[in-house]
Chain A
Amino acid sequence: MALNPMEQFTIKPLIAEPLFAIAGHPIYFTNQALLMIIVVVASSLFLTLAVKPGRLVPTRGQSMAEISYEFVANMIHTATGEDGLKFFPFVFTLFMFVLCSNFFGMIPGSFTVTSQIAVTLALACLVMLIVIITGFAKHGLRFFMLFVPKAPIYILPLLVVIELISFCSRPISLSVRLFANMLAGHTLLAVFAGFVVSLGAAGGLLAPLSVAPLLLIVGILLLEFLVAFLQAYVFAILTCIYLNEALHLHDHH
């Protein structure tokens, strides 16, 4: 039994025929689409149904919803200040989408939406688009001062180039970080699972050795839960930091 650890990242249509086509590109209903729908429906239902505004003592579900709300609100507030709170719905959506995608991906046999570079890159580009629009809307052409740090004049050209490169590489670093983390974790789990199977199948003296990769899987699985949360957090906090720069340039850090 040859297990391909990359198999789990394959996007398979659940309905063989394309639903329709956009500009000549066929759109399928895929396993990833199903997971995305599950993610957004589950998080929407959870965050709306678990909460009753009149409840003085929250239930467990409401408490969790409120904690995630306040977690993101505090994150935005500390990273961008008071005027960043208008981005709350966006950052909250981003955080919940990535977090739930990561966690739903942990269910065996499901699909990790965020293990696709197309998804993470699209999200990162959306973030940068909003950052750029915010920057120009707030500061106009002065937004370009973002690339001009306070430094002696003779070193400035070099710094401007560095700042430009760093700014342009942000969508890539933002998307690749999330994508690679999820991809690597799930690949690692699949590889070790393959070891368990092949050692077990080898039989004889090798069979008891299959316990070792199994134990490793348990450890990595725990680590993956941490990574699932951490990457969602990192994605959200970096979004806040970029938004802060768009809002305040280099005025106060």
Chain B
Amino acid sequence: MQEHAATTETTEAPKKEGGFPPFDTTTFPTQFFWLVVTFAFLFTVMWRLAGPKINAAITNRRGTINGAIAEASKARAEAEAAQAGYETALAGARSRGNALAEETRQKLNTEIAKAKAEADSKAADAMAAAEARIAQTRETAKGHVKTAARDAAIAIVERLTGDKVSAEDATAALGN
């Protein structure tokens, strides 16, 4: 192994002091140089390019998602408002309908009552008229009975006595 290391030592440019490569200080300047160059390069890229770009991507997405959520909740609120409006309209229509029905019923009731009263009064009138007619007929009939009684009395007196009694006398004689 020593021989192996010795042969490589002569062929390789940085001289090695011991067997442990990481502690070979002759490589340190080269290592530091490349570390500074590459680290500075990566830092610049991260700082100026990659960092802002990734940050923009994440922020954009967050913004889009939050915007979509806000829009969705707005639409939901609108839908709820529309639902509420619909329900109030429905309730209004229903109460108006009820009121109308009630009014109609009331009107009909009064009309019915009126018609009934009219019919009642008509019937009462008709009855009164009928009763009057009956009374008149009865009176007429009574009159007819009187005339008949007078005529009969005249006829009887004539047959019995042979005297002709006037109608007025007969009536007076019969009394009432």
Contacts and interface: CB of A to CB of B under 8 A. Distances in A.
Interface of A: 2, 4, 6, 9-13, 16-18, 22, 25-28, 30, 32-33, 36-37, 39-40, 43-44, 47-48, 51-56, 58, 62, 65-66, 69-70, 88-90, 92-93, 96-97, 115-119, 122-123, 126, 179, 183
Contacts of B58: 66, 69-70
B14 interface: yes
B31 A116 contact: yes
A118 B54 contact: no
B42 A96 contact: yes
The size bracket of the interface on B is 35 or more
Given A53-B56, A55-B57, A33 B43 contact: no
Contact of A51 (B14, B20, B45, B54): B54
B51 to A, nearest CB: 6
Contact of A90 (B12, B43, B50): B43
A6 B58 CA distance: 44
A100 to B, nearest CB: 9
Contacts of B50: 44, 47-48, 51, 65
Given A6-B20, A53-B60, 6 more contacts: A17-B13, A32-B27, A51-B54, A69-B58, A88-B51, A122-B32
A237 to B, nearest CB: 18
A122 B46 CA distance: 20
Contact of A28 (B24, B30, B64): B30
Contacts of A126: 39
Interface in B45-101: 45-47, 49-51, 53-58, 60-61, 64
Query: Which of B8, B20, B35 is the most central at the interface, judged by chain A CB atoms within 10 Å of its CB?
Result: B35
Given A118-B31, A119-B31, A89 B47 contact: yes
A44 B54 contact: no
A119 B24 CA distance: 13
Interface of B: 1, 4-5, 8, 12-14, 16, 19-24, 27-35, 38-39, 41-43, 45-47, 49-51, 53-58, 60-61, 64
Given A53-B60, A97-B42, A13 B53 contact: no
A55 B21 CA distance: 47
A30 B35 CA distance: 12
B39 A118 contact: no
Contact of B57 (A66, A97, A183): A66
Given A55-B57, A117-B22, A27 B46 contact: no
A93 B43 contact: yes
A84 to B, nearest CB: 15
B12 A115 contact: no
A30 B30 contact: yes
A183 B22 contact: yes
A206 to B, nearest CB: 22
A11 B57 contact: no
A179 B38 contact: no
Contacts of A115: 22
Contacts of B55: 69
Q: 8 tightest CB-CB pairs across the interface, nearest first?
A: A25-B29, A47-B50, A89-B47, A53-B56, A33-B34, A36-B38, A40-B42, A44-B45
Contacts of B29: 22, 25-27
